[in-house]
A and B are shown apart, each in its own frame.
Chain A
Amino acid sequence: MEKPFLEIDGLTKRYPSPDGGEPLTVFENINFDIQKGEFICIIGHSGCGKSTIMNILAGLDEPSCGGVTMDSKELAGPSLDQGVVFQNYSLLPWLSALSNVMFGVQARYPKWSKAEVEKHSLKHLQMVGLFDGAEHRKPSQLSGGMRQRVSIARAFAIQPKLLLLDEPFGALDALTRGTIQEELIRVWSGSEQTVFMITHDVDEAILLADKIMLMSNGPKAKIAETVVVDIPRPRKRADIVHFPGYYDIRNHLVDFLTTRSKEIAICDYEAEGRHYPELVNPLRDAQENNPEDTPVILKTAG
């Protein structure tokens, strides 16, 4: 088998307890792989350590134990190979939208001339719908949705090997969120970009992801399952809900979040060696059980 693009191996994060007692284990022995070009979403309740995993992948945080290998190289610290889009946009407020993107492009391609940098930046801003003067505005003069577009444009413009999105649409209203989700799909589908995204939104995850990772509740959280989303692309928000089996996937996710994420947290199995998340395909399961057409909550090892 081909070596996976991204390997997460035995990742553990512990925080020392303030009174010198038992350290707080956020998550323990996390193992998973990501193939090149995959769009992965990770869902879990607050406090399960999603953001910590993401920060470790970004190189902004260090695991207590374990490591990450990307493209056969050990990940060490932040770099331009990992592009990050934060929930709060993280644009530099004293620069215009265009300068914010150029800031990234210049860092990525220091040998390019200013004209090349500007052209490349404008192209990516245009891809997310910022043109006709909007690109010269400061972030404070843009709406939340526009700011996040700039942030996404900057991330795609530097063409990182791995794009990390930390709840990028969490602060946006539902309508704006929908439009930008579709823009994200459009920009992504032409790019072969590997994406790892945190979200709280089940529908968003189904719309965007190839695979959805489900995390159990912390402390000592783990990635319990990897749910395969076998819905053909290109996907559209309006059409996807009519796709047969959409609700099988959705119910599976909601069921996990509402009940099973807690149960798994309670039954604290001591993993011997590496423990990989179970691969689940609700769609295929539903098709196999089709005659009864009952709501499906089934597991099959992948």
Chain B
Amino acid sequence: MTTSLKLRALFLSCVFLFVSLGIWEGVTPTVKAASEMTEYEMLMGGADQEARVPPPSQVLVRAFEELSDPFYDAGPNDKGIGIQIGYSLYRVLTGYLLAALLAIPVGFLIGMSPLTHKALDPFIQLLRPISPLAWMPLALFIIKDSEASAIFVIFICSIWPMLINTAFGVANVRKDWVNVAKTHELSTFRTAFMVILPAAAPTILTGMRISIGIAWLVIVAAEMLVGGTGVGYYVWNEWNNLDLTSVIFSILVIGVVGMLLDLAFGHVQKMLQYQE
């Protein structure tokens, strides 16, 4: 029954996809190519006064063109989509890893010690709701480098879910397992690594998964601000070029990469998940 459910779901997904694409394609009037226009029409600025959203068929053609040569580099304003994604991923992963290096140990400490929890909680509660982009001007002023500022913004937005989830996971390790560590005379250090870390791993991974999702959301906005390279910059640049086809294409690419990042973390999470 499960396979048939999967098949039926797949079928339904395809129906949704084709119906929505069909409607989109259908409501988009075809604009005549310049060669088909009469001289008069061309003088009048074409048949259509309005810029229109391109139909899906055009987006597909653009996607094919871009993806068949993703790594070309024709100067600062014309780079392949692969290169742009590479820049974005580099920034996201650097900021994210730095955040993990700070958030997981500090989260561990907060989870294990009620004192540090109480002491640090007001700061976390205050800093957490700040939009990561609000840090951008300050970061630019202090760091004086747009590249590093973008990484800093990723760093600051990735910290909170990892910190909070690690602290929660560590603080809520089942008392029985801590007692097992105690009755086996494990040192604090060994208890942390042999009992608490594996017990809290699924919760920590959940935090890491939320963080990478947020980081990928934020990088697009950050790159629109700092400019130069990256998918965020690419979207904004194509908007300035009034190339709506490329804008739609890059939106889809952002979605796909975000989905792949999440899938990868979901996979790791599954490996560390245990059943009680």
Residues of chain A at the chain B interface (Cβ within 8 Å): 58-60, 77-80, 82-84, 86, 88, 90, 92-94, 103-104, 107-108, 138, 140, 158
Contacts and interface: CB of A to CB of B under 8 A. Distances in A.
A223 to B, nearest CB: 24
B225 interface: no
B276 interface: yes
A84 B195 contact: no
B180 A90 contact: yes
B39 interface: no
Given A138-B274, A140-B276, A92 B185 contact: no
Contact of B275 (A58, A59, A83, A138): A138
A158 B185 CA distance: 12
Contact of A92 (B183, B198, B201, B272): B198
A78 B199 contact: no
Interface residues of B, number: 18
Contacts of A103: 184, 194
Contacts of A107: 184-186
B204 to A, nearest CB: 13
B188 interface: no
Contact of B182 (A60, A83, A92): A60
Contacts of B276: 93, 140
Contact of A82 (B183, B198, B199): B183
Interface of B: 176-177, 179-180, 182-186, 194-195, 198-199, 201, 272, 274-276
Nearest to B275: A140
A65 B146 CA distance: 65
Contacts of A83: 183
A84 B175 CA distance: 14
Nearest to A95: B198
Contacts of B272: 94
A94 B198 contact: yes
B174 to A, nearest CB: 9
A190 B150 CA distance: 68
Given A92-B180, A94-B198, A80 B274 contact: no
A46 B158 CA distance: 49
Given A80-B183, A107-B186, A92 B177 contact: yes
B185 A79 contact: yes
B199 A88 contact: no
Instruction: Please give me the 4 A-B residue pairs with the lowest Cβ-Cβ distance, nearest first.
Output: A140-B275, A107-B184, A94-B274, A78-B182
Contacts of B186: 107
A93 B272 CA distance: 11
Contact of B184 (A86, A93, A104, A140): A104
B179 A60 contact: yes
A138 B275 CA distance: 9
B114 to A, nearest CB: 19
Nearest to A89: B176
A107 B190 CA distance: 10
11 contacts: A58-B183, A59-B183, A60-B179, A60-B182, A60-B183, A92-B198, A94-B201, A94-B272, A108-B184, A138-B274, A140-B275
B274 A140 contact: yes
Contact of B176 (A79, A88, A138, A140): A88
B50 to A, nearest CB: 61
Nearest to B186: A107
A92 B195 contact: yes
A233 to B, nearest CB: 28
B205 to A, nearest CB: 13
Nearest to A164: B183
A79 B177 CA distance: 15
A84 B178 CA distance: 13
Contacts of B275: 93, 138, 140
Nearest to B194: A103
Nearest to B273: A94
Nearest to A83: B183
A60 B182 CA distance: 8
Contacts of A59: 182-183
Nearest to A94: B274
Given A90-B177, A138-B274, A138-B275, A80 B184 contact: yes
Q: Which of A59, A78, A83, A94 has the most CB of B within 10 A?
A: A94
A84 B184 CA distance: 9
A137 to B, nearest CB: 11
A93 B274 contact: yes
Nearest to A79: B185
A158 B176 contact: no
A107 B195 CA distance: 13
Nearest to A141: B275
A92 B177 CA distance: 7
B130 to A, nearest CB: 36
Contact of A94 (B176, B179, B184, B199): B199
Contact of A80 (B185, B194, B198, B199): B185
B27 to A, nearest CB: 54
B185 A78 contact: yes
Nearest to A158: B184
